[in-house]
Amino acid sequence: MDSGLYDDKLAGEITRDTYDLKHASFKDQLAQLEERLGTANRSHTNATVQRTALLELFQRTSQIYRTRDIDQKRLIIITLPKKTKITEARKQKRSSF
Do residues 51 and 85 make contact, with C-beta atoms less than 8 angstroms apart?
Answer: no
pTM higher than the cut 0.75: no
Look at residues 52, 51, 73 and name the one whose alpha carbon lies nearest to residue 61: 73
pLDDT of residue 65: 85
Of the ranges 21-30, 41-50, 62-71, which one carries the lowest mean pLDDT score? 41-50
Query: Does the pLDDT value for residue 7 go beyond 60?
Result: yes
